[in-house]
Chains A and B, each alone.
Chain A
Amino acid sequence: MTDMTLLQSSSEDASTGEDFSASVMSIEIGPAHPAMHGIVRFTTHLDGELIVGMDPEIGYLHRGFEKESENSKWIQVIPYTDRLNYVSPLLNNIGYSMAVEKLYGIQAPPRAEFTRVIMGEISRITDHLTCLGAVAMEIGAFTFFLWFIKAREYLWELVEEMTGARLTTNWTRFGGNHSDLPDGFLGDLADRLAKLKEIMTECDKLLTRNKIFIDRVKDVGAISKEDALSFGFTGPLLRACGIPYDVRRADSYSVYDELDFEIPVGSTGDCFDRFLVRMEEIRQSISIIEQAADKMPEGPFMTDERMMHFPDKKDVYGNIEGLIDHFKLVMEGHQPPAGEIYMPVEGGNGEMGFYLVSDGSGDPVRVRMRPPCFNFVAAMPAMTVGHYVADIVPIFGSVNMIGGELDR
């Protein structure tokens, strides 16, 4: 924490009018700070090194996702969702597509769902690897970071093989996926998972029982079950508090009910528990991927309902129905029946919910995405007050704030 700028030192905080004692000073951390995972500003009030108050300020990465989406066609929103949680873009693609499918009342064929599970869990692993690697690096474990980023690279190569892009995937469609499994994909997948498992074992030995690491994260940033629920926590942070809530189980969407996996929980909800929960979730995700690859059914990867996907080129040029479908999809777009739905899926950070309202015309009325890390950043004051300045780094790291998702 050498890079902080001392902006003001006053006995009274101008924004709230609270009177702090004369020894309290206010320090701005961010918006651009090496230990901030995105652009966010914390106005911290310090008594010596002890944090007595904090006011997070967000919105630096606000791009108007909802406004842009509401001025697009339904299908045009998919590329925008890549840019929400940009560490696990496939989970956003899947969440949004499943939401529109719920609006239509249709389901993707089993092969598409199993492929989605594989790709979604790969994305969840990359999300956790990034988060854990960054936390470790910021508190000095640089090797761990490099190995995790190496592992993430193996997985992103798989994502590239499947979608053609590493981050801006734009892969799902309504009622299926853009592409089927490429040739030899399952073989590559098995190789990469084997490598990932090796790295996981080594990194586990390196950090999980490391005293220097444990001293920095144990009993830091703990939050009670009641507060976590009241703040609307979901995902790894809620599970670290000991509440086994996972949307994959609780609402059992897609084909997760056919797969066997455990939901790891912590006990105290401190940064160390969050670390352990995420490590275990990576292992569980590996197991889910292996099961899904074994059970991969044959069949189409796209629904055969009309007006859901662009017809094959041979139909567009070969028969009138194909031509009409193509024309109407291009000119009018998808027209889900009027209504409103809320579709929750388990994102990298927690419950990612899409609330969609359609009036049946082809233009979305409302596209709302519930950002899981919004609640975590809102709870930053509750998690940091009473700790020292240096603890902000592991606490904020374990929150895994993703600017694209937070500010939309």
Chain B
Amino acid sequence: MSEEISTKETGTPPETGELTTLLKQEFPDDVTDFHAHRDDETVVIKRDALEAVCRFLRDDTRCSFEIMMDLTAVDRLEMNETPRFEMVYHFKSLTHARRLRLKVRLTEDDCKIASIHHLWKAVDWYERECFDMFGIVFEGHPDLRRILMYDEFEGHPLRKDYPIDKQQPLMELKEVEERHVYGRHS
């Protein structure tokens, strides 16, 4: 999506960053899209390649992404984009002082993705949060429980079709008798 827009804005085709070139060279069949909007290098890959690409990013000396900075998802329901979900991974390399954003697109009826908790320890809780908020299932995660919400909570609050004013009281609410204020109806 952003690629088209950045092209439209600047009138030039998206720049190919160093890492994008490297990933396209190493994983020619798996890189589906890329852009560098506002100099944030972004690569979109196929779902099945995630584990291999992440391992490459961590271990290869040309990448050396020591820190898995952030992991989240985007629900694109209201943007009318398909597929609906987009997993977003942010990496930081201290050796090369570089950042990279990796994205994987997931369809609504099959929002499962391989867990990468064994590559960085931070991923464990990030994936729990993402599961809690978006209902994305991380296959192979050892302990995929809710983390911010409570276990009895139904639904996933950051999905766009979850109403913001929905209430889920753990106890039944008491019926409150309607009272007339200011004695207007008495």
Contacts and interface: CB of A to CB of B under 8 A. Distances in A.
Contacts of A365: 74, 76, 78-79
Contacts of B149: 59, 62
Contacts of A59: 146-150
A338 B5 contact: yes
B124 interface: yes
Contacts of B74: 357, 365-366
Contacts of A318: none
Interface string A380-408: 00100000000000000000000000011
Interface stretch (B23-31, B94-102, B105-113, B167-175): B94-102
A64 to B, nearest CB: 6
Contact of B158 (A67, A344, A378): A67
B154 interface: no
Contact of B164 (A67, A245, A337, A368): A67
Give the residue among A105, A234, A374, A382 with the most B Cβ atoms within 10 A: A374
Contact of B70 (A230, A342, A357, A379): A342
Interface in B127-164: 129, 133, 143, 146-150, 157-158, 162, 164
Nearest to B165: A71
A292 B121 CA distance: 38
A103 interface: yes
Give the size category of A's interface with B: 35 or more
B68 interface: yes
Interface in B48-78: 66-70, 72, 74-76, 78
A340 interface: yes
Interface residues of B, number: 45
Q: What DSSP secondary structure best describes chain B's contact surface? A: mixed
B40 interface: yes
A366 B125 CA distance: 20
Nearest to A71: B164
A58 B147 contact: yes
A406 to B, nearest CB: 9
A245 B94 contact: yes
B37 A339 contact: yes
B84 to A, nearest CB: 12
Contacts of A359: 78-79
B70 A370 contact: yes
B2 A338 contact: yes
A360 B121 CA distance: 36
12 contacts: A58-B147, A230-B121, A231-B122, A232-B121, A337-B9, A340-B37, A340-B101, A351-B69, A353-B70, A374-B129, A375-B122, A379-B121
Interface of A: 16, 58-59, 62, 64, 66-68, 70-71, 102-103, 105, 227, 229-232, 234, 243, 245, 250, 337-342, 344, 351, 353, 355, 357, 359-360, 365-366, 368, 370, 374-375, 378-379, 382, 407-408
Interface of B: 1-2, 5-6, 9, 37-38, 40, 42, 66-70, 72, 74-76, 78-79, 88, 90, 92, 94, 97, 99, 101, 120-122, 124-126, 129, 133, 143, 146-150, 157-158, 162, 164
